[in-house]
Amino acid sequence: MIEYTLLLLKKYGLTEVIINLHHCGDQIIKTLGDGSRLGLSIAYSTEKGEALGTGGGIKKAASFFEQSTFIVVNGDILIDIDLDKLISFHRAKQGLATLVLRETDDFSKFGVIEIDENNQIQNILGKRDVKKRQIRKRMFTGLHVIEAQVLNHIPADVPYYSIIDTYLDLLRAGGKLYAYETLDYWNDLGQFDRYKEVDHALKTGTLKLGHITLGKGEQ
């Protein structure tokens, strides 16, 4: 399933990729190799022992980003989104990070991110006292655009450190984070049954995404 995300990146010319590995890392390397089969250049950052979390994993790979703006995509999601528009939005807002958000009826599963009328993020998981009245509640899709300076705010060698904790610290310090809202296709494939269902739908053509050109019945 990770190849679907890689194909999305390739479609928008994002060909320099690093994959954070932990569980089944050797199998992923064996399957993807250096990325040339997909027209990409893939590097790997391997976690040993206890997982470092969404923040710790990014911190470990910091040298790869070379002080450039970068995109992070969770490995267990499938999304079809115009990355050119997302990056343009991020650059126009000039924030430290832009999180891709969407509506949901189940905040108990995904958590709440509160944004104002300018799409500026005001609160994450209800951990700040927000006084603004015009607030919309959305969920995080697992895709974000991040400025390299955010890496300076992520502690190194902390077991299972979440990037959300860094975002909260930045908000408390007055940093600006923004939300890019999407109505495009998104799915959380963290459960194997859902993964099999979506993979089958893609391979049989009942689900069509702009960056995937699998033929009907392809295995």
Is pLDDT larger for residue 74 or for residue 110? 74
Kindly give, in sequence order, each residue whose CB lies less than 8 Å from that of residue 15, ignoring residues fewer than 6 positions away. Answer: 9, 35, 39, 40, 41
Q: In the predicted model, what is the mean pLDDT of residues 62-69?
A: 93
Kindly give, in sequence order, each residue whose CB lies less than 8 Å from that of residue 176, ignoring residues fewer than 6 positions away. Answer: 93, 94, 95, 96, 120
As a whole number of Å, the CA-based R_g of the chain is 18
- H or E stretch covering 5: helix 2-11
| Yes or no: domain 2-204 corresponds to CATH 2.60.40.10 | no
Q: Tell me, what DSSP letter sits at residue 51?
A: -
Under the banding of pLDDT at 50, 70 and 90, the label for residue 180 is very high
Q: What is the pTM of this model?
A: 0.90
Kindly give, in sequence order, each residue whose CB lies less than 8 Å from that of residue 104, ignoring residues fewer than 6 positions away. Answer: 110, 138, 139
pLDDT, tens digit, 9 for 90 and up, residues 52-64: 999 999 999 999 9
**What does the alpha-carbon distance between residue 197 and residue 3 come to, in Å, rounded to a whole number?**
16
User: Residue 155: its pLDDT value, please?
Assistant: 93
User: Residue 131: its pLDDT value, please?
Assistant: 73
